[in-house]
Structure 1
Amino acid sequence: MQQKKAIPSMVKDPKLIEKRREQIIEAAVELFVSKGFHKTTTREISRASGFSIGTLYEYIESKEDVLYLVCDAIHQEVEKRLQQVLVEGVSGAVMLRRAIEGFLRVMDEMQDRVLLIYQEIKSLPKEPMRYVLMKEEEITDFFEEILHRGRKDGSLNIDEQSVKLMAHNIMVLGQMWTFRRWSLRKHYTLEQFMEIQTSLILRELTSH
């Protein structure tokens, strides 16, 4: 398994590191979205974060570190939400509905970050990029696990060959809410989008 990249810090307090890095991420995402990753300088990031350039370099080494931290923050939040739905005694169908809802809420809450990652992932060095893509696969695997559970308990009607493809379909569904927000949000609220899409998936997976 690809190892998570350890980003060095000159600061020893883990809570302070987490707090300052979140400030840096917030400032950097706004700049990356408005100006583009390559046109944004570390000096601009430090200014927007409220730090001196010297202080900024106590927490990160490069712009690419910020991009990596954004990727990791998204995946951690998605994983946290999805882990919450793994409840014993609940059918795969119920679990799937809850997982899709949790996934879509994270995509909505972190939409600028999600959009940025898919636009700029090519800017990451090779090893961190592999790690980020691996995390994407792990989230897809999570949906595969739920689909297998539903298949096993009889609450979902899906053949083995279709499980992986359906898991990828669900991933794209979440990303659609971000990538096509310029159009979708004219016609649907998040709740409406969530209900319609989840109903379409479950209708397909529960029809016999």
Structure 2
Amino acid sequence: MTKKVPSSIKDERLIKKRRDQMIKGAVALFKEKGFHKTTTRELAKASGFSIGTLYEYIRTKEDVLFLVCDFIYEHVKERMEAVIDMNETGMDSLERAIRSYFQLMDDMQDEVVVMYQEVKSLPKDAQDYVLEKERDMLHMIECVIENCLPEPIHEKDRKLLANNIFVQGQMWGFRRWVLQKEFTLQSYTERQMHFLFQGLSLSEPI
């Protein structure tokens, strides 16, 4: 499944350069003001070029939001693939995968918060496209769980467990206004894994 934002410019390298500038400026603006209150003129200024140049690379403000969400999802997915070994087994490997994922969510907390606040403003086809990437990431965590647990668990439980881990990582950014007053990333990760592993050891087979 692919989706492209049309551009009147044919030079792919220049398109990438300009759109990277847009994404960087847009994340800061969307975080501060939200998507709907941000104007295309502000997006152009934050990107470092004129509004006329902006419209050479996109058609609408929604195109910029799509580029932001697509970039963030793809970057998170690539980072997850880089830090999580899908072939490792054992509970130590699951622990390392969770630590790596939580660290990634800490590194990209601003981008992740923007993405989840604003993805609802995308057209339906664009939402489906970027959320498919989320499903890919969830599947990675499911595979790690399947490979690492000493005994198999029910598929529904595995999916729910993967979603729990996924959201717990994101929660570090969503709830940082309160969580980061009480916890460091390390202590937050330790407590979440404590509850996770305790639940696994106490759970009864279905």
TM-score after normalising by structure 2: 0.87
Q: What's 2:174 paired with? A: 179
Deviation per CA, 1:56-107, whole angstroms, max 9, x where unpaired? 122222221221122222222222222232254x314233223222322232
Report the aligned-residue RMSD: 2.1
User: How many angstroms apart in 1 are the aligned matches of 2:157 and 2:86?
Assistant: 24
> Cα 1:17–1:96, aligned 2, differ >3 Å: closer, same or farther?
farther
Q: What's 1:17 paired with? A: 15
Check conservation: 2:74, 2:133, Cα contact below 8 A.
no
Q: Report the CA distance between 1:157 and its aligned residue.
A: 6.3
Deviation per CA, 1:4-48, whole angstroms, max 9, x where unpaired? 311122333333322321211121122222222112111111011
Deviation per CA, 1:145-184, whole angstroms, max 9, x where unpaired? 1111124xx2x66444411110111111012111101001
Q: Report the CA distance between 1:206 and its aligned residue.
A: 5.2
User: How many angstroms apart in 1 are the aligned matches of 2:119 and 2:81?
Assistant: 25
Consecutive unaligned residues of structure 2, counting only runs of 5 or more, are none
**What pairs up with 1:11-160 in 2 under 5 angstroms?**
11-84=9-82, 85-86=84-85, 88=87, 90-151=88-149, 154=150, 158-160=153-155
> Cα 1:94–1:32, aligned 2, differ >3 Å: closer, same or farther?
same
User: How many angstroms apart in 1 are the aligned matches of 2:188 and 2:198?
Assistant: 15
Query: How many residue pairs were aligned?
Result: 202
> Cα 1:34–1:87, aligned 2, differ >3 Å: closer, same or farther?
closer
- Could you say what secondary structure the match of 1:91 adopts? coil
User: How many angstroms apart in 1 are the aligned matches of 2:103 and 2:16?
Assistant: 23
1:168 aligns with 2:163: yes
Task: Specify the code of the residue in structure 1 equivalent to 2:18.
Answer: R
Task: Specify the code of the residue in structure 1 equivalent to 2:163.
Answer: H
